[in-house]
Amino acid sequence: MGGRLVAALVALALQAAADGRFRIGLVDMRPSQPCLALTGAPLAKGSPIVIVTPGEPQQIVRATIVDQVAGCDAMAKSDLPGPYYQVKTERALDELMGLGIAVAGTHQARIASGRARLALNARYPGVRFRSCASSEGLHLTVWAGEPLVSERLWHAYWYLGYDVEPDCRPEDYR
């Protein structure tokens, strides 16, 4: 998928998520440069976020915004728009390495059968999270309920830079 097309699709999804109902972004939790890309008005230092790691089993991690940063190399490679933030997690980043889906604010969240469920707002009391691979990257999604059959609320693409075995379905990236 071309970088400009991916950027346009991501921007549309992120704009929809930033319309005041909720804000969702992507966090790269590498200890060398942890970085959150979250569109919309800047978040203040100390603002809470909830991070869901999309691997198996999924994890829920509470975090706060440390500061806004000028840019993130990892985010630029995947054409993810900012603003960008440094985050501080409740657990050491070396325990969490990888990507996470970040939701701004304090939300009730729980793990059931290895899958995260988050109360986003009154309209979306049980959102779920999914990750799948395309030929060279990952599609990360947030769903109103059951992934692939409920309304998809958010989507981001993370370019890996190498070939992987695809396991996405059209609903993941449409």
Note the pLDDT tens digit of each residue in 43-92: 999 999 999 998 889 999 999 999 999 888 888 778 888 899 999 988 76
108: domain range?
Answer: 3-173
106's tokens = 């304090």
Report how many domains make up the chain. Answer: 1
Residues pairing with 49 in the sheet: 63, 104
Burial (CB < 10 A; 0-12, 13-18, 19+), residue 1, is middle
DSSP symbols for 44-76? PTT-EEEEEE-SSS-EEEEEEEEEEES--HHHH
Local structure of 104: helix, strand or coil: strand
pLDDT band at 20 (very low <50, low <70, confident <90, very high): very low
Assess contact for 142 and 152: CB atoms under 8 A.
Answer: yes
What is the residue type of 6? V
Please write the tens of the pLDDT for every residue from 105-158: 999 999 999 999 999 999 999 999 999 999 999 999 999 999 999 999 999 999
Q: In this model, does residue 4 exceed pLDDT 60?
A: no
pTM for the model: 0.84
Query: What per-residue confidence (pLDDT) applies to 125?
Result: 95
Q: In this model, does residue 32 exceed pLDDT 50?
A: yes
